[in-house]
Amino acid sequence: MSFFKAWGEFMMVATRAHAEWELETSRRIMGDPKRLLLLVLFIVPIFVFGPMVAAQVMDQAAAAGDVLPDVLGGKKAYSPAFYSTGIFIASILIGLCAGLITGCIGAGGGFIIAPALMSAGIKGILAVGTDLFHIFAKAIMGSVIHRKLGNVSVPLAFTFLIGAIGGATIGGVINRVLYEINPVLSDAFITTIYSLMLGGLGAYAMMDYLKARKTADPDEGAHGGRSEGAELGNLPKKLQAIKAPPMITFDQNLVPGGRQISAWFLIASGFLVGFAAAIMGVGGGFLTFPIFVYTLGVSSMTTVGTDIFQIVFTAGYAAISQYAIYGFIFYTLAMGMLIGSLFGVQVGAMVTKVVPGITIRGFYAMAVLAGFVNRFFALPGKLSDLEVISLSPGTIAVLDGIGIWAFFIVIGGFAVWVLWTFVSNLGRLRGAEVAS
């Protein structure tokens, strides 16, 4: 039980840290005309080349007597594959929902992107690659590496990246090998990973919410205190006591002489982060914060700066080298999600000013569990296709339907509620902005 609690706290810290990065990045992009211009430049190919590429692919398929695949996307790296207005709008809505969750709940909403894309008929490997590319584009646009160098431990970052690149490479290879063996096997693998992660996190979040209801403080923030995960034992002290050279020194500005950690622990941590990023498409920043702070003992200030630095390289390397060059990104979807998430994060963050914190924590638990239900009910169909279990087509259709409808009702309902709350409280929100 203690392990489950520690793991739940660890994952909670991870989602919140990623949400803070999302919010900071979104504000930086939306508040800078140059960055908005860069966003426009990212989107131009969709409207200029997208229709032409789509028309050419369809003409070639018709001439050859082929039928276009049911799976959205194609094998043309970097291209806005199979463009259509409907697809682009759908991607904006997915990004919007993820952004609303991130901004309002204060926890990364990226966990809904891959399930949403897979529920829409996109193969898991394409969903992962597209999500990674969307994170990379956001990181590039919002990067403040040159401004944050004061809080970046360059030795920590580069040692960490050695492991992250290795982990991302292996994770990407695994996904591609499974896809080449059988696309359904790849989908089943990704679905299983998401089921385990979201199931554990959702259960912890729901228990945390039910516990918080009994002692709810009306003045407590939407996301509870920041102490979750702070007491995970003496692991940082034990690891820093192991003098396995080479040793990396950090936090010299906080501790006389600084702290030290073996480079091997940094490389191992980077490997885990890179591997998870490439497998799930969640971006390197998802796990970096809790690993740095609660496992390696790095200060929060140094961690934040270093995380901003490394996520550009981890997400970029994984997205481009492991997916984009093999054609496993859907550029149109990635850019649509970027637009939607930038807007959604801003709106969601403002809504927290007029909604009780306990309510938002309940929505967070429901959103995570909705993602779990979506992937859990999709898994039997994939196992049946792999002939691991035997199910009738009717049973598979019912299970898939339960997962898809439960997911989109919860996520869509939450999005509508946030937007309605935002619109109906514009007066109060303007007053809060002026007061601040």
66-83: per-residue pLDDT in tens? 554 444 444 443 344 556
Structure confidence at residue 230 as a pLDDT band (50, 70, 90): very low
pLDDT of residue 297: 85
Question: Whole-prediction pTM value?
Answer: 0.82
* Segment 301-313, tens digit of pLDDT: 777 777 777 888 8
Cα 100–Cα 106–Cα 111 angle in degrees, nearest 5: 65
Q: Please give the average per-residue pLDDT across 396-409, as a whole number.
A: 91
pLDDT of residue 268: 94
- Residue 110 to residues 101, 117, 409, Cα–Cα distance (Å): 9, 11, 17
Q: Please give the average per-residue pLDDT across 384-398, as a whole number.
A: 90
pLDDT of residue 345: 87
User: Residue 227 above 50 pLDDT?
Assistant: no
Contact (Cβ atoms closer than 8 angstroms) between residue 187 and residue 118: yes
The phi and psi torsions of 228 (rounded to 5 degrees) equal -55, 125
Cα 204–Cα 208–Cα 213 angle in degrees, nearest 5: 150
pLDDT of residue 72: 45
pLDDT of residue 225: 45
User: Residue 38 above 90 pLDDT?
Assistant: no
User: Residue 385 above 80 pLDDT?
Assistant: yes
Cβ-Cβ contacts under 8 Å for 221 (sequence gap 6 or more)? 352, 357
Q: Please give the average per-residue pLDDT across 349-358, as a whole number.
A: 78
Contact (Cβ atoms closer than 8 angstroms) between residue 148 and residue 309: yes
pLDDT of residue 365: 83
Q: Please give the average per-residue pLDDT across 349-353, as a whole number.
A: 81
pLDDT of residue 162: 93
CA 51 from centre of chain: 29
Structure confidence at residue 178 as a pLDDT band (50, 70, 90): very high
Cα 201–Cα 370–Cα 293 angle in degrees, nearest 5: 25
pLDDT of residue 63: 66
Mean pLDDT of the chain: 79
pLDDT of residue 67: 53
The phi and psi torsions of 309 (rounded to 5 degrees) equal -65, -50
Q: Please give the average per-residue pLDDT across 271-287, as a whole number.
A: 80
What's the DSSP call for residue 258?
Answer: -
